[in-house]
Structure 1
Amino acid sequence: MQVPRTLAHSGGDNSVWAADYTGTDTLNTGTYGADYGKITITMDDPGKNCAGIYTYGRYNTTTATERVTVTMSDTGDTYGYNGIFVDGVSTLDAQKGIELTINGLGTNNQSGNDNQAWRNGLRVETQGKVDLGTDTGSVITINSNAAESYANGVYSYGSDAGAGYETSIKGGDLTININKDNAVQQMDYAAGVTLYSGSKMEMTGALNIHAEAVNGVDGIRAGNLNDDGCINSLQAKTLDIYGKATDGSATGIYLMGDKDSVTVSDNTKIEVTGEYDAFGIVIEGSGVKSSFGSTVIDVTSKIQTTDYNDVDGLKLWGADTEYSDLTITARSNGADINGISLVGHNDRGQVAVSGDLQITANGNGTYVKGIEVTALGKLDVAGKTNIDVSNENDGAIMYGVYAQTGSELAFTDDAQITMTTHEGDSNAKMYGVYSRTKADVTFAKGLTVKNGNLGAAVIAEGGKVEVNKDGGNDVKLEGTIEARAIEDSPGSGNLVNGTVKVNFDTAQSYLVGNSYTATDSTTDLKFTNGAYWDLKGNSSVSDLTVGKGSVINMTADSSRYSNLQVDNLTATDGTFVMNAGSVDGGGSYSDKLVIDKTSAAGTNTIKLISTGGMEAAARNQAVLVKGAAADTKFAVSDSVYANGLYEFDLTLADKENNGKYDWFIGSLQKNTVDSVNTMVSANQVAYTAWIDGNGTLRQRLGELQSGADNGVWARMFGGKLGGDEFTNKYKTYQLGYDAQAGDWRVGAAYEYSDGSLNYTSGSGENKIGAVSLYGTLQGKDNSILDIVVKRGRIYGDVDVYGKYSDQGDYSTDATSIGVEYSKRFDSGNNVYFEPQAQLTFGRIDGYDYISNKGVKVAYDDLNSFIGRLGIVAGKAFSRGDVYVKASLLHEFSGNSSVTMLAANGESYSADKDYGDTWLEAGIGGNITLGKNCELYGDVERSFGGDVTKNWGANVGFRYSF
């Protein structure tokens, strides 16, 4: 950058009287400086290399006791110029701060020699010193419409001479705005603060920077142009940077020198948006620690394609930085993303966070990493850590924490890593924690890894990862755990083994995923106090501890059989859940625990889960545990239900095998489950409901009177039937019509029955709709012959509750033909008795259905042939009679069979014999209500049968005409 020529003093010499100064040209204070009150410069169309205020000279101290205001603008031709230029060991003491505005409306760059039209708000060089005061904040505003232009809010260049020749800027609050809200965004480059070759900036208040440009933006930029080892430093109480590059790259803070530093005592906020690259803080090789207080960084790249662009919250190479709390948000649709990228160099390279760390990285490019630390870098987080990584790219590679080449990462408090990708199947690769090549990653307390694609939770490839070393913290891992070796350097042939140690020791702790352990590497997994492991397939562990209440679940892999291979097992009162049943393609009948080296004394429980084939597994003595020591015992805890028709009671046996012991299924006993018993009972329900509807002539029509030609009647009867497995509360409604046809009375009736069922472990309904035809012949000797033919349809459903729940609906047709003969004898005093005989043939057609669980249920045809001998004794009155009745009934047939086939291949069949003998007794009566009306009814119950009618009631009404 060129040093401007000395311009003539304009406006008079005010050094003696400290008067205000107002001018329209450069204020040049000469060799010895001057004292002023207020300085106001308003300059239009400044010339090439011009300055609003210019000071120069070792003895030049220019003081303004009031505010310094400089306003510069151009409208046509435009050149490079400065707002305030403090040069040549001179000093500017602006006790009330400065208000500096450059408004470049000109677009015709006349700088010449391919130079850009630069704008420096405050420029300090060659040991120049500026004191902006602390009473009133200073403001620097630069706008430029020129395309070939760049701007520095503050530009400071010490000296090529090196240390001792630094420039100095100090003050309270300072606000720098470059092209903020400018409608014409054509400026090529903008920097809020630029510090070169020995520059110091000390702000006791807030430093606020807003910079926008087209091709590049730096909030703060520092470096040594000639590699002379000069110190560049910036201090502020708070720092707020906003940067935006509309067609280029943007950086919040960029420190390039080996002694550059930034120190912020309170809060740092950086928001940066670039079209291509976007960085929050970049420090390259500084040997001086930078400190940023409580820091929030938000970086965004607008690039839509994966063209080797980067977005980093922190990008540090050989630099030490510290923060109280650190929050980083990084996003891009195409660029690779690092929340923190730290590379060690020359024993430097450390990030220390004394509070909490929060990283959110959302991208659509190839790589998204929450934290990457390499080359002996160090990361220490004292507070809680939360890392959220997401990527919608189907081929993305994501890391929560990535460490390699001897780096050391220590998380003192709880940490959580969340990784997500698009919904549905994805080829994205996800790694929660990845430690390579002698890297050491330690989580002193709990760790949660939420892995949306069930990729890797923890991988140690020649590195080390340890989680919850001292115990007592929740560890929740989704994804695989893997330990394997890698060469300590490419091509060396020297392998470094990986080590993973995780302590799952709370009831809320778990691992969902597999474990893979290469030869000579170590996976030491401890599950105690109720923690559990859901395996997703074959796994290997060098050291496995399973304590009381903890569960190793090998059934989380969709019923596939898998092996858990363990070098050393320590298990006491632990539970292993395994699949067993039908043989798979590899000849296995179950999951298997394989112990390769040692197992400690203890007794453990095996819980078996099956989808069918348990009898085959037992016949083939399926081995569940292989290679146990003699004092390592296993037992099956519960019966096995394979979602079919049976529950299996198992016992295990062991056999010696080369000095160790294999545990296998020794014996098996099966029992039908409640759903089978209930569905079998459903057929008995249909049978008893149908035969109960047969009834008698007296129940149907009451006391028939001779001489009535025609009649209509209605009745309702119901009751409660009970068997070993069910009760049926039912109601039946029947409506009929009959007429005299010669000596016969013939008629027809329709009936509807509705039953509510309770099974031992379920419920259901039974409905019947039927039509009957009947003919009744009344003899002159008081005998009656009654013939009834009935055809109907039976509907039903079964709902089984509890562990064996199932549901099914069925329907079928049924037929019956009944013949009843009775004869009435009078014994005087209106007392009579009436012997009865009845035969009823019935048939329920076979039917089948499929239950909700896929059980195919089929019932054969059921034929019934029931004989009844009965007696009725009663007394007649002028308007009716009352009677008692008793009957002996016998079922001469009643044979049926049922078969069931479950979806898992289990089958059941049984022959059922409903043949039985039972008694029925009851009382009833008839009342004549008028010449043509009759009311009749009875109550009854049964005794002695397999199915008992606990009570039955019947009431009817007949109208004859």
Structure 2
Amino acid sequence: MPTSHVFAPRQRIMASAIALALTSLAVSAQADTVDGSTRTVTAPGNPNETYTVFNGGKLTLQSGTSTNWIYLDGTVTPARGASHLRADGATIIGSMLSGGTLVAALRILNSDATINNSTITSTTQAGVALTGQVGSGLVAPTATITNSTISGNQFGASVSSNGILTLNNSDVSAGTGAVAGLNGGVANFDSTVVVNGGKISGNLSGVLAATSNLGNTNSLTTINGATVTAANGAAILAEPGRNAGAFFGHTANILVQNGSTLTGSNGFAIQALGQITANATIDNSNITGNVGSDGTATLNLTLQNNATLTGDLQNLNTLAVNAGATWRLVTASTVGTTTMNGGTIDIPGAAAGTGTYRTLTLGSLSGKGNFLMGVGFPAHTADVINVTGNAAGSYQLSIPSTGQEPTDLSPLTVVKTGGGDATFAVKSIKVDAGTRTYLLAKQGNNWALVTDTNQGIDEVPTDGGGTDGGTGGGGGGGDSGSPPVGGELSPSAQLVLGISSAGPTVWYGEEAILRTRLGELRMGDQSNTGVWARTFGKQYHAKPTNSADYRQTQYGVIGGADGVVGEAWGGKWLVGAMMGTSHSKLTFDNGSTGGVNSYTAGLYATWLSAAGWYFDGVVKYNHFQNDANAIMSDGVGAIGSFNNNGVGMTLEFGRHLEFGNRWFIEPYVQTSMLRVGGDSFTLSNGMTSTTSSTGSVQLRVGAALGKTFELAGGMVQPYLKLAVVQEFIKSNQTNINGIVFNNDISGTRVEFGAGVAGQVRRNLQLYAELETSTGRRINQPWGAQVGVRYTF
């Protein structure tokens, strides 16, 4: 049989190291040979029997068989081809031979083996060693091992000489031994290793991608859905053989794919040391750990196809982040040439929202991709992309919005370049910072966030106008104030201002229902006690100056009871009590919404004279539950809630005048006063709001024109109505992040309506009305209500 190469001092031949120091292969007392023949070993076999297979021989181990070491040799007579091993359910344990020779449990020299459901163990050398010699007619060593367990001392399994090792769902481990300072669960010396599933573990490395002095080939190591760990080193280590210079200059290609995991005790998922070039690709796997070199090795990294790497990159030569892939930084990192093909670099990583900001330094940048970045507006600091060389391509920056207010309004640089035609844009176009919005602007070779002044806001509104309420809705949609420096209000600020001023709109919307109820009394039998109920719906469209348009939709139901309590001043007095509830939804063009749940109760009184004069008085209390759901410019929601109360009253004086053919006109004048208490609340994005109170004083002058038609057992009154309303309160302040805004709700509006009241029986009245209003800053596109009253 051929002997293996002999190591000279300080220049050991790596093939002999991979062969695990086999020298003379001294024959045990229970040694057997398979010379060009076929041998089948049946259970139970002999754990002390060794086998040497050569000259194209074939050894088969059946299930339950146990043997000692096995040596497949395909070099004795190359013309007779490789030797073969087939094992299924066998146990192969390599032990110390007499004379002290250390052997692998299974050595494959220019031969092949197929192993299934077996256990291969060596406590002194490798469990499986594939090696070979270079020569005419010699084949590369090959082994396919499936559903098996392999363990060794220096290596669990090793392959060299352009061999091919395929591991399917197998567990391979190495102890603490070393060959020339190298150790690993699987060692690949200029060959091909494919690991499909299973677990690989080692001491100094989980998988070793090294070089040998046989030939000048590159290696390929594929980790496919497998788990790789190292107890005292990197999960995957690329390092040349530590011997002659002939070991240097080779390339180790590494592919980690399909859900593989890498865990190195030194923090490295992949590490390259010494004079070696390593090309690493992570594909469709979520890897946590650093990837880097010692500065001598050349390490190139590609992330692709939904791969995620969470870790730092150290001394990388090139980085490619392709479509669907993400690199999440752990600390500030420096990378040389960087190419992005639709991938994402997450600079904040797990530090997002913690107030820690990083600088990513790139030698050059090209392609197209996305950067996730963090910004600390209150401290005027941010993550920074620093391209020291040329930057080319186009990139989107995903920068989160915040409800916290900036303290420094000067431009905040987030990208620095050494030149080039690269373009950067914020993915959401705008970034919110408290009450303000920011845009990304190019400044020389750099890019900075600057306040958005496209819609400058005067600190003190010059038009004095406010939101014009709809029907009974003068309190809503007030004119917003502004921050000290011009800029477009952020969506969060717009929502806070809108919902802070929504209380009066809700209150007046409910009060209008009660006012129409009192109007019914003037056509019915006032001598009886009655109960009534109304259901209603309304929508307002507010367009406040220097704020955002929004729509407020209100639905509710109100009911009550009233009756005559006496006569005075030539007329009857009726008193009643009411209660009800309504829900209002505020919607903004950017998707923000607000909700107001209102619970109301009140007392009212009506005086009706025989001459048609009347007086109505109402006192009404409301409890408001307010919910805010802001959608910031980056699409992220911010929620908050608060409660407040409101008390108001209305006084109305008018006359019901009838003339020919039962036509009637009912002019009136009404005044209303309301105070809605304030409250403080904080949105989940950090924005704070405090409203002391919201006031409203309105004067309404209007008239209704209608005709009474007598019916059998009742009557019906269709009518039209017209009113002009003036809101007088010009100052309702809301404090957002320490900035005072004025919700000016003063203004004039015109109301239109049409309805019908019918008394179908002496004790039953039905009612329906449609209404609309228009004003300079708010319109009521529609309003509708229906009701019923029953007297006893």
Scaled to the shorter chain, the TM-score interval is 0.7 to 0.9
**After alignment, is 848-857 or 860-869 more displaced?**
848-857
Q: Structure 2 CA distance, aligned partners of 1:621 and 1:754?
A: 43
Are positions 1:369 and 2:184 aligned together?
A: yes
- Equivalence for 2:604: 774
The 1:600/1:742 distance shift into structure 2, 3 A limit, reads closer
Q: Structure 2 CA distance, aligned partners of 1:201 and 1:860?
A: 100
- Give the alignment's TM-score, normalised by structure 1: 0.61
* Higher RCO structure (Cα 8 Å, ≥6 apart): 2
Q: Structure 2 CA distance, aligned partners of 1:328 and 1:434?
A: 25
Calculate percent identity across the aligned residue pairs.
Answer: 17
Q: How far off is 1:951 after superposition?
A: 2.7
Q: How far off is 1:551 after superposition?
A: 5.0
Larger Rg: 1
Q: Structure 2 CA distance, aligned partners of 1:297 and 1:676?
A: 66
| Matched position secondary structure for 1:866 | strand
The structure 2 residue matched to 1:561, chosen from 350, 353, 357, is 357
The CA RMSD measured in Å over matched residues stands at 4.9
Q: Which has the higher strand share?
A: 1
The structure 2 residue matched to 1:462, chosen from 274, 280, 284, is 274
**Aligned pairs for 1:470-549 within 5 A:** 479-484=289-294, 497-502=296-301, 512-517=310-315, 523-526=317-320, 533-541=327-335, 543-546=336-339, 549=342
Q: How far off is 1:829 after superposition?
A: 3.9
The 1:873/1:536 distance shift into structure 2, 3 A limit, reads same
Q: How far off is 1:683 after superposition?
A: 3.2
- Equivalence for 1:752: 581
| Matched position secondary structure for 2:497 | helix
The structure 2 residue matched to 1:663, chosen from 446, 449, 453, is 446
Q: How far off is 1:861 after superposition?
A: 1.0
The structure 2 residue matched to 1:700, chosen from 498, 518, 527, is 518
Q: Structure 1 CA distance, aligned partners of 2:94 and 2:734?
A: 75
Q: Structure 2 CA distance, aligned partners of 1:752 and 1:686?
A: 13
Q: Conserved in 2, the CA contact under 8 Å of 1:646 and 1:671?
A: yes
The structure 2 residue matched to 1:432, chosen from 210, 224, 236, is 236
- Equivalence for 1:74: none
The 1:649/1:745 distance shift into structure 2, 3 A limit, reads same
Q: Structure 1 CA distance, aligned partners of 2:106 and 2:540?
A: 93
| Matched position secondary structure for 1:691 | helix
- Equivalence for 2:474: none
The 1:268/1:254 distance shift into structure 2, 3 A limit, reads same
The 1:646/1:929 distance shift into structure 2, 3 A limit, reads same
Q: Conserved in 1, the CA contact under 8 Å of 2:647 and 2:675?
A: yes
Letter in 2 for 1:240: L
The 1:362/1:739 distance shift into structure 2, 3 A limit, reads farther
Q: Structure 2 CA distance, aligned partners of 1:752 and 1:365?
A: 75
Q: Conserved in 2, the CA contact under 8 Å of 1:351 and 1:379?
A: yes
- Equivalence for 1:892: 728
Q: Structure 2 CA distance, aligned partners of 1:287 and 1:356?
A: 15
**After alignment, is 358-367 or 745-754 more displaced?**
358-367
- Equivalence for 1:677: 494
- Equivalence for 2:210: 403
Q: What are the Cα deviations for residues 435-492 of structure 1, in whole angstroms up to 9, with x where unaligned?
A: 1445666455854494454742332211313327xx999999763232226xxxxxxx
The structure 1 residue matched to 2:61, chosen from 240, 257, 269, is 240
The structure 1 residue matched to 2:688, chosen from 849, 856, 867, is 856
Q: Structure 2 CA distance, aligned partners of 1:583 and 1:694?
A: 44
**Aligned pairs for 1:931-946 within 5 A:** 931-944=762-775, 946=777
The 1:276/1:925 distance shift into structure 2, 3 A limit, reads farther
Q: How far off is 1:749 after superposition?
A: 1.4
Gap runs ≥5 in structure 2: 1-23, 178-182, 453-486, 543-548
The structure 1 residue matched to 2:40, chosen from 206, 229, 240, is 206
- Equivalence for 2:19: none
Tell me the matched-pair count: 687
Q: Conserved in 1, the CA contact under 8 Å of 2:173 and 2:185?
A: no
Q: Structure 2 CA distance, aligned partners of 1:765 and 1:591?
A: 39
Q: Structure 1 CA distance, aligned partners of 2:250 and 2:286?
A: 17
Letter in 1 for 2:649: I
- Equivalence for 1:380: 191
Q: How far off is 1:815 after superposition?
A: 1.2
Q: How far off is 1:544 after superposition?
A: 0.8
Are positions 1:194 and 2:31 aligned together?
A: yes
Q: Conserved in 2, the CA contact under 8 Å of 1:406 and 1:440?
A: no
Q: Structure 2 CA distance, aligned partners of 1:288 and 1:644?
A: 69
Q: How far off is 1:644 after superposition?
A: 5.8
The 1:194/1:362 distance shift into structure 2, 3 A limit, reads closer
Letter in 2 for 1:289: L
Q: What are the Cα deviations for residues 32-86 of structure 1, in whole angstroms up to 9, with x where unaligned?
A: xxxxxxxxxxxxxxxxxxxxxxxxxxxxxxxxxxxxxxxxxxxxxxxxxxxxxxx
Letter in 1 for 2:313: S
Are positions 1:730 and 2:534 aligned together?
A: no
- Equivalence for 1:625: 416
Q: Conserved in 2, the CA contact under 8 Å of 1:218 and 1:253?
A: no
Q: Conserved in 2, the CA contact under 8 Å of 1:339 and 1:371?
A: yes
Letter in 1 for 2:727: E
The 1:869/1:668 distance shift into structure 2, 3 A limit, reads closer
Q: Structure 1 CA distance, aligned partners of 2:770 and 2:71?
A: 101
Q: Conserved in 2, the CA contact under 8 Å of 1:580 and 1:608?
A: no
Q: Conserved in 1, the CA contact under 8 Å of 2:664 and 2:705?
A: yes
Q: Conserved in 2, the CA contact under 8 Å of 1:241 and 1:252?
A: no
Q: How far off is 1:708 after superposition?
A: 0.5
Q: Structure 2 CA distance, aligned partners of 1:534 and 1:823?
A: 75
Letter in 1 for 2:333: S
The structure 1 residue matched to 2:399, chosen from 588, 606, 609, is 609
| Matched position secondary structure for 1:693 | helix
| Matched position secondary structure for 1:682 | helix
Q: Conserved in 1, the CA contact under 8 Å of 2:166 and 2:195?
A: yes
Letter in 1 for 2:31: T
Q: Conserved in 1, the CA contact under 8 Å of 2:562 and 2:574?
A: no
The 1:604/1:870 distance shift into structure 2, 3 A limit, reads closer
Q: Structure 1 CA distance, aligned partners of 2:525 and 2:370?
A: 81
The 1:617/1:466 distance shift into structure 2, 3 A limit, reads farther
Letter in 1 for 2:300: K
Q: Structure 1 CA distance, aligned partners of 2:566 and 2:262?
A: 83
- Equivalence for 1:923: 754
Q: Conserved in 1, the CA contact under 8 Å of 2:59 and 2:86?
A: yes
Letter in 2 for 1:625: K
Q: Structure 2 CA distance, aligned partners of 1:409 and 1:274?
A: 32
| Matched position secondary structure for 2:607 | strand
**After alignment, is 773-782 or 402-411 more displaced?**
402-411
Q: How far off is 1:773 after superposition?
A: 0.8
